[in-house]
């Protein structure tokens, strides 16, 4: 009997959104096309969604009411950036990115940091191999719980609250996820970041739960650090850091610092992951819409490529993800860098070079 070979297909929802988002996501899709054209054993079906700030201007919402139902039909989401100079940032962020992350319970925001070969860190005597971190950002509650309000608007007696919420459920699940990630890395070390000297309720709960969860991971060493001290440690002793877990806000700040120490925000990827896999996870460059360089053709597409590799790994396509990263590293090593990394290359030149590297590379 003739054997029928079926090719795996992954369905990707692409949401380029705002600013340089469409430029870097288009570059990422081009590179993914070059990758799958090699015959890597799977195909990608791309569903394109035009949601974002322009959609908001036309429809009064950043995405349709049934958007999450559409996204649930995908295996993963490939997101660009959100933010528009004419719309307050808190409207656009909550209207799109946070609606998706919270609506699809993507409670773990995973942010790897490495200095890629060919890229120079602003830190003295720190090169590839010296800085290899995985920052886990709690992505469903904390300072982004959306609890608070304003009364007596515009009057001298105006009051505003912004309440951080830490639940045992939320802290325990992110802590467990962080210990699991640390256990899977060579150095098996986790640093739990809080501000539990000054914030004596939610942050102390974090410390307590870290202690409890650590008993289930005897192979992982761990320590605690206050967020202010962590910024110094990242700059002064980067080699001693491996996996880091922190609250929604703290990890957001730390990972921008991490990206800068690795060379540029333009290379940093992230995954908004639902570890239960009941919902699709969403992958995006860490950077925002960058309106100062939108349309100039110089946005760094490396974060978008690394993001695509993270997405492939999540989809179970690790060999293809590794191949893609090898192609990116080859291009960086050859010195083809965009202006944020001190080079003169355009988005298109870097994209073309990565596609060519993919075509010429042995598996
Ligand atoms: N691609 C990431 C992105 O668009 N970020 C927009 C932003 O403003 N994020 C703020 C945050 O996540 O805290």
Residue listed under structure tokens 């649930």: 72
**Cα(4) to centroid of ligand 1, in Å?**
45
- Of 261, 291, 326, the residue at which a domain comes to its end is 261
Closest residue by Cα to atom 7, ligand 1, is 288
Do residues 42 and 100 share a domain? yes
Read off the pLDDT of each residue in 193-216 and give the average, rounded to a whole number: 98
- Report the domain count for the chain: 2
Cα(218)–Cα(314) distance, rounded to whole angstroms? Answer: 26
**Cα(278) to centroid of ligand 1, in Å?**
24
Do residues 230 and 334 share a domain? no
Residue 311 banded pLDDT, cuts 50, 70, 90: very high
Tell whether 117 is covered by a domain: no
Do residues 252 and 358 share a domain? no
For the record, the structure tokens of 240 come out as 């001693």
CB distance 358 to ligand 1 below 6 Å: no
CB distance 81 to ligand 1 below 6 Å: yes
Catalytic residue ranges: 144, 195, 228, 252, 256
Cα(327)–Cα(309) distance, rounded to whole angstroms? Answer: 11
**Cα(139) to centroid of ligand 1, in Å?**
12
Tell whether 56 is covered by a domain: yes
Residues 216, 281 contacting (CB under 8 angstroms)? no
Tell whether 115 is covered by a domain: no
For the chain, the farthest-separated pair of C-alpha atoms sits apart, in whole angstroms, at 83
Do residues 215 and 286 share a domain? no
- Of 227, 261, 295, the residue at which a domain comes to its end is 261
3-class secondary structure per residue, the chain: CCCCCCCEEEEEEEEEECCCHHHHHHHHHHHHHHHHCCCCCEEEEEEECCCCHHHHHHHCCCCCCCHHHHHCCCCEEEEEECCECCECHHHHHHHHHHHHHHHCCCCEEEEEEECCCCCCCCCCCCCCCCCEEEEEEECCCEEEEEEEEEECCCCCCCEEEEEEECCHHHHHHHHHHHHHHHHCCCCCEEEEEECCCCCCCHHHHHHHHHHHHHCCCCCCEEEEEEHHHHHHHHHHCHHHCCEEEECHHHHHHHHHHHHHHCCCHHHCEEEEECCCCCCCEEEEECCCCCCCCCCCCCCCCHHHHHHHHHHHHHCCCHHHHHHHHHHHHHHHHCCCCCHHHCCCCCHHHHHHHHHHHHHHCCC
Do residues 245 and 142 share a domain? yes
pTM over 0.85: yes
For the record, the structure tokens of 9 come out as 């297909």
The domain spanning residue 283 has which CATH number? 3.40.718.10
State the closest ligand 1 atom to the C-alpha of 98, by its place in the atom list counted from 1. Answer: 12
**Cα(81) to centroid of ligand 1, in Å?**
7
Cα(256)–Cα(162) distance, rounded to whole angstroms? Answer: 22
Do residues 136 and 257 share a domain? yes
Closest residue by Cα to atom 1, ligand 1, is 81
Read off the pLDDT of each residue in 320-326 and give the average, rounded to a whole number: 98
Do residues 342 and 293 share a domain? yes
Do residues 216 and 296 share a domain? no
Closest residue by Cα to atom 13, ligand 1, is 252
**Beta-sheet strand order (sheet of 76-81):** 42-48, 8-17, 76-81, 281-285, 269-273, 108-114, 132-138, 243-246, 189-194, 221-226
Tell whether 118 is covered by a domain: no
**Cα(338) to centroid of ligand 1, in Å?**
21
CB distance 253 to ligand 1 below 6 Å: no
Do residues 91 and 183 share a domain? no
Tell whether 172 is covered by a domain: yes
CB distance 251 to ligand 1 below 6 Å: no
Residue 3 banded pLDDT, cuts 50, 70, 90: low
The domain spanning residue 144 has which CATH number? 3.40.50
Q: Among 141, 177, 94, which Cα is nearest to 249's?
A: 141
State the closest ligand 1 atom to the C-alpha of 144, by its place in the atom list counted from 1. Answer: 13
- Of 232, 261, 290, the residue at which a domain comes to its end is 261
Residue 362 banded pLDDT, cuts 50, 70, 90: confident
Tell whether 140 is covered by a domain: yes
Do residues 256 and 281 share a domain? no
For the CA atoms of 119, 125, 129, 134, what is the dihedral angle to 10 degrees? -80
For the CA atoms of 81, 84, 87, 89, what is the dihedral angle to 10 degrees? 50
2 has pLDDT over 80? no
Residues 57, 67 contacting (CB under 8 angstroms)? no
Tell whether 72 is covered by a domain: yes
pLDDT recorded at residue 361? 85
User: What mean pLDDT, rounded, does the chain reach?
Assistant: 97
1 has pLDDT over 70? no
CB distance 225 to ligand 1 below 6 Å: no
What residues make up the domain containing 198? Answer: 132-149+164-261
Do residues 256 and 175 share a domain? yes
Tell whether 155 is covered by a domain: no
Do residues 88 and 141 share a domain? no
CB distance 95 to ligand 1 below 6 Å: no
CB distance 18 to ligand 1 below 6 Å: no
230 has pLDDT over 60? yes
């Amino acid at each position: 009997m003739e054997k029928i070979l079926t090719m795996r297909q992954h369905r990707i929802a692409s949401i380029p959104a705002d600013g340089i988002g469409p430029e870097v996501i288009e570059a990422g899709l081009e590179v993914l096309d070059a990758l799958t054209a090699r015959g890597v054993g799977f195909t990608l079906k791309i569903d394109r969604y035009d949601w974002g700030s322009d959609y908001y201007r036309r429809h009064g919402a950043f995405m349709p009411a049934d958007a999450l139902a559409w996204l649930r039909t995908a295996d993963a989401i490939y997101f660009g950036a959100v933010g528009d100079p004419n719309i307050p940032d808190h409207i656009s962020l909550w209207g799109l990115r946070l609606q998706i992350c919270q609506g699809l319970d993507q409670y773990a925001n995973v942010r790897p940091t490495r200095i890629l070969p060919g890229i120079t860190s602003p830190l003295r005597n720190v090169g590839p191999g010296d800085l290899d971190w995985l920052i886990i950002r709690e992505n469903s509650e904390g300072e982004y719980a959306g609890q608070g309000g304003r009364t007596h608007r515009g009057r001298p007696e105006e009051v505003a609250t912004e309440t951080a919420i830490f639940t045992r459920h939320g802290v325990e699940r992110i802590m467990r996820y962080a210990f699991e990630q640390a256990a899977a890395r060579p150095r098996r070390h986790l640093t739990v970041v809080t501000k539990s000297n000054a914030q004596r309720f939610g942050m102390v709960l974090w410390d307590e739960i870290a202690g409890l969860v650590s008993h289930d991971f005897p192979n992982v060493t761990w320590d605690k650090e206050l967020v202010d001290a962590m910024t110094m440690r990242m700059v002064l002793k980067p080699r001693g850091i491996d996996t880091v877990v922190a609250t929604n806000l703290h990890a957001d700040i730390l990972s921008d610092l991490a990206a800068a120490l690795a060379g540029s925000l333009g290379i940093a990827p992230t995954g908004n992951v639902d570890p239960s896999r009941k919902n699709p996870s969403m992958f995006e460059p860490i950077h925002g819409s960058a309106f100062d360089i939108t349309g100039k053709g110089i946005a760094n597409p490396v974060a978008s490529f690394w993001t695509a590799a993270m997405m492939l790994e999540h989809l179970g396509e690790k060999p293809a993800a590794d191949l893609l990263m090898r192609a990116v590293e080859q291009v960086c090593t050859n010195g083809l860098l965009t202006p944020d990394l001190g080079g003169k290359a355009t988005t298109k030149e870097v994209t073309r070079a990565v596609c060519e590297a993919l075509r010429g590379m042995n598996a």
